[in-house]
Amino acid sequence: MSLVRPPSFRELAERMGEAEAVRYLLRIGYGTMKVVAESGLPYHRVILYRERVKSLKSMEFSRLASFYERLSGVRSRKAKEALISRFLSSRVLPVDVMVNLLTAKPFKNLGVGPGTIRDSLALASRWSPERVEALYREYGEYGEVAYLILRGSSSPLTVKEVYLSLKLLPRLAREDRVKVLSSLLSTASRIEGKYIVRLALGDLKLGFKENTLLIAASKAFNVDRQLLENASAIKGLAEACRLASIGEYMLRLVELKPGVPFKPMLAHLYREDKVKFPVRVELKYDGSRLQIHKIGGKVKLYTRRLVEKSDVLPEVVEIARGFNADSCIVDCEVIAVDDKGNPLPFQYLLERTLPRKYESERAEKVRVTVKAFDIVYHEGRSLLSTPLQERIPILMSVVPKEFLAEGETCTTPGEVEKYFKDAVSRGYEGIMVKALDSIYEPGRRTYTWLKLKPLRDTIDAVVVKAYYGTGLRAGYYSSLLLAVRDPKARKLYTIGRVSNISEDLMDRLKKRFDQLIVRRDRDGIVLKPEVVVEVTYMEIQRSPEYSSGYALRVPKIVRVRNDKTVGEIDTLDKIRELYMSQSAVKS
């Protein structure tokens, strides 16, 4: 009796297709790694077939990587617009996928950090993790490390298999994420590996902002840019571009509706020449922006970043259920309050808004309420094009008085100044100044809304560490750790990190930092305390993150104090005094 030879994987694939052949082997008891060995397929491809992906046919990823490389190498904004517009016009992929591949937005929360990338590169290149990390410290960016150490492969990758493999990562354990990434990197060429790493980290370093993409898309699809911006604020950029690719009429059909978050309207800093009287002035609360969406008995809460917080803030949901409307969308600030209902500083609010789930202990410790200042949807009707002076009466008819932002109408600069001084004396952040004829423009920062805040004191601090940059700042330092002194203990105590430093200033500082390096670590360089800077800030907060016990909120460098030494910087005692003198803390 002769034995029957089982069919090879190649024979199975010819008979039933590659994807079905993999699933057949898995069904008859083969483990994933045995299928990889039997088929000769990369690990990530076997995993995708296991997840019921039928076909991976698509544009070759090498073409996309080449486009990335060309786009990142162009400095002119106009040239970037032209390249992106041409890319979108080609429609070589679904338009929403093309936009996602330009922004990397879907890949920003994959659960992939530098450690996962390091280990994946080590496995793919057969380098030790320590050696990979040493190269990262030298170059400051893992995409460049991938380009340097990968050996390259002749096996072509498709855009679809890279895209789907990355989207699969959040569902996998860390060990399996490393296997999938290392499989992709082992199959990739050096230039492909560079951009697979950057996609996995959600940062392509292509050097353009969202507005550039909006302009390019409006040209590619021959649609009105303002319509595209409005649709993007409501639907998201990828979906708005997909609709634009069908036709401008699709953008005109986009409307607000409860349950669909949108990017909020934003304000510019106060400029007297931009004020058009009469105006509405309102207290500026030290809280977080929140959208309240109500339809019937259902209530949804969304942050400025469009993250849902309905489960985290149940007391706000109960407040919204008491609104005098069956359906509405209300724009407001959520703030922390004490037992008497007085506003508390922003740091108290973080106790409630940072956690992803409701915690009863935190809720008992920190009470919250809302202060509503606008309404953009009411009983089935969008109010986006309705002037503010007409929206305010509707808001007041819907929201109980205790939950309304305090405000009034001013007709002269003197009245605005008086209201501002009164707000600051009561411990508020400042005021908002809004044109009465202003419409609500989602996602836009406009001069019809202005914010006026008091000028804060400044402190002199010393730089003790410079952190490596990522994204557009890769290869540079992106933020600086500051410290003040305790003359009695003769020690330095950290007080916060300052970022948003101009390239010109950072270039000048880098030359000095290179001469002051004490040691390097994975985050940056530790420095001799010699560079003194004057910084302004919004507020001083209590914080266990820094050794002083305090943190500067939104610090900004005013100037470098070349005339001062570390022995002349401000003291920890001054920080305590400034903290205690803040009106919000006093109240």
Residues with catalytic roles: 284
At how many degrees (to 10) do helices 190-200 and 174-187 cross? 150
- Quote the tokens at residue 337: 């309050």
Residue with tokens 């000028």: 455
- Which 3 state secondary structure label does DSSP give 229? helix
- Quote the tokens at residue 278: 């009469």
H helices of 399-515, in order, are 413-425, 503-513
Between CA 8 and CA 5 the distance in angstroms is 9
Distances (CA, A) of 470 to 39, 478, 524: 39, 7, 12
Cis check: omega of the bond before 555, within 30 degrees of 0: no
Between CA 470 and CA 68 the distance in angstroms is 17
- Give the count of beta carbons closer than 10 Å to the beta carbon of residue 91: 12
Complete DSSP assignment for 232-301: HHHH-HHHHHHHHHH-HHHHHT----TT---PPPEEEEP-GGG--SSEEEEEE-SSEEEEEEEETTEEEE
Distances (CA, A) of 19 to 31, 157, 158: 15, 16, 15
- Which 3 state secondary structure label does DSSP give 112? coil
Residue with tokens 């893992």: 142
Q: Which is nearest to 45 in space by CA: 67, 22, 78?
A: 22
- Beta-carbon contacts of 474 under 8 Å, excluding residues fewer than 6 positions away, are 140, 141, 143, 144, 205
> What 8-state DSSP symbol labels residue 354?
S
Beta-bridge mates of residue 368: 336
Distances (CA, A) of 433 to 418, 421, 425: 13, 14, 18
Yes or no: say if 192 and 62 are a contact pair by the CB < 8 Å rule: yes
Distances (CA, A) of 488 to 346, 485, 561: 32, 9, 23
